[in-house]
Amino acid sequence: MTNPILIIEDEHALASALAAVCRRLGHDARLCASGAKAFSELVLGEFSLVILDIGLPDMSGLEVLERIRRDRPALPVIIVTAHGTLDNAVAAKRLGAASYLLKPLELHEVQETMRQVLSATLPAAVPQSFAMLVGAAPAMQRSFVEIAHACASDVPVLIAGPTGTGKTLTAKVIHANGARRAAPFITLHCSALPESLLEAELFGHEKNAFTGAGAARPGHIERAQGGTLFLDEIGDIPLSVQAKLLRFVEERTFTRVGGREDLRVNLRLITATHKALREEVRAGRFREDLYYRLHVLEIAMPALRERGGDLPALANFFLGSLCPERSVQLAPASLELLARHDWPGNVRELRNVLEHAIAVSSGSVILPHHLPRDIRECVSLAVESDTLQPVLAAWLDTRLKDGANYNTMAGELEEMALRHLLTRFDNKPTILARETGMNRVTLRRKCRQFSIGVQGLPDAGEDSDV
């Protein structure tokens, strides 16, 4: 008779559903709602598999996993979590987790994963993460799982995603947490070089191989010996260079430009592209055989618009890293503007926007007028009457969660409206007052209340209606 499966999960309904899956696979299930109870079960019994939630009421599931690895190194463990992060995913792999699944769980996927784990051996462990990507959105959690798989192996990895999504950082994370982390990490940006120079930079060249080659020079492949070679924008490599790269990927041998000797190098290859390589293959611009050689593991980096819930965390991360000498925060109105932007440049664009805002601000709060003009203008054009209500409702819900009262929220809304109207009328308050029918003394008082500096308004003692 097979040993039971230990389910460590504090959500009773999910634990019961997982137990039903275990029975379909021919195993009994033992249910535990805490880490302490799980330790008791592990002392008393033998198990075929452990299904472990990271978010336990008394401790982190990673602590439980660490003890299982110490006391039962051969016992396979499947991690489940509702809040996946890169650190959790990599830590789970480092501690030898057999798989890492994200809630809400698809039970048929869980069943197939359990079936495979029960008939397989544990993957190799990987070192702890020293680099970090930020995000909790489902799209990023899937990427974290894929990155953890890449850290635990040595096969070629293709990182796909739009420009500015963090592909280079992802490659560095994989190298820093892989078996080759003590060896070089060499980067070559393929789109920045013409064909002749790209080939020489990649494979190196012999003396007098071409005009200006006064001495032999090793290429990026040789420089990456024992480590990782990262080829950014691999989709821009010409077909002639693709053929030579294919030979290296298949045989781990190459020849310098102008040379005759075959050289052999051992390295890990990571590539990245913003292009859809399958479409490039169909169009005849990328070799199909090379594509499949590079596409052993693929990591999809999502666009920022696909992970809008990560925007506050990303913004806080950048504000802290770009301006460590002073604590800087986004005003609610500024965060609202950022949330409505489409972010064609993705995370890189967000970083640049916040760097601009820090440079033009002097206090501890980033206000809307600190943001670049194109962000303010682009967003204001996109907001129409039929889209304001859901945006306003989401903002009000957020402020309520922050503990804001009615007067605070009303004041913030009035300040946003006033700042926008001043921008709309070229920061000319007299025109604003005339066009909106607002008393100029009242406008002056409101501007002082919100620390908005304007010129051309009467003092509070003047009673000038328009």
Note whether residue 381 is domain-resident.
yes
* Beta strand segments in 288-419, E: 297-300, 329-330, 365-366
User: Which of 132, 149, 166 is where one domain is finished?
Assistant: 149
Q: Does one domain contain both 257 and 320?
A: no
Note whether residue 433 is domain-resident.
no
* pLDDT at site 336: 87
Here the tokens at position 385 are 């009457």
Q: Does one domain contain both 131 and 50?
A: yes
* pLDDT at site 131: 37
Q: Does one domain contain both 292 and 340?
A: no
Q: Does one domain contain both 57 and 75?
A: yes
Note whether residue 457 is domain-resident.
no
User: Which of 302, 332, 349 is where one domain is finished?
Assistant: 302
Note whether residue 131 is domain-resident.
yes
Q: Does one domain contain both 34 and 141?
A: yes
Q: Looking at the predicted structure, is the pLDDT value of residue 282 above 90?
A: yes
| Percent of the chain scoring above 90 in pLDDT | 42
Higher pLDDT, 86 or 461: 86
Q: Quick one: average pLDDT of 150-170?
A: 93
Higher pLDDT, 211 or 251: 251
Q: Using one digit for the tens of pLDDT, what is the confidence trace for 292-331?
A: 999 999 999 999 988 888 898 899 888 988 888 878 888 8
Q: Does one domain contain both 322 and 270?
A: no
Q: Does one domain contain both 25 and 132?
A: yes
pLDDT, the chain, mean: 85
Q: What are phi and psi of 197, to 5 degrees?
A: -75, -35
329 backbone φψ class: left, alpha, beta (φ>0; ψ -120 to 50): beta
* Domain enclosing residue 359, as ranges: 306-424
Q: Does one domain contain both 390 and 415?
A: yes
Q: Using one digit for the tens of pLDDT, what is the confidence trace for 33-71?
A: 999 999 988 888 889 899 999 999 999 999 999 999 888
* pLDDT at site 346: 93
User: Which of 260, 287, 302 is where one domain is finished?
Assistant: 302
* pLDDT at site 448: 84
The verdict on pTM exceeding 0.75 is: no
Q: Looking at the predicted structure, is the pLDDT value of residue 460 above 60?
A: no
Q: Does one domain contain both 242 and 188?
A: yes
Q: Does one domain contain both 79 and 164?
A: no
Q: Does one domain contain both 50 and 132?
A: yes
Domain CATH code at residue 320: 1.10.8.60
Q: Looking at the predicted structure, is the pLDDT value of residue 247 above 80?
A: yes
For residues 367, 368, 373, 377, the Cα torsion angle rounded to the nearest 10 degrees is 180
Q: Using one digit for the tens of pLDDT, what is the confidence trace for 356-398?
A: 999 988 777 888 888 998 887 765 444 444 456 666 777 787 7
Q: How many domains does the chain have?
A: 3
Note whether residue 455 is domain-resident.
no
Q: Does one domain contain both 86 and 130?
A: yes
Query: What's the DSSP call for residue 76?
Result: -
Domain CATH code at residue 167: 3.40.50.300
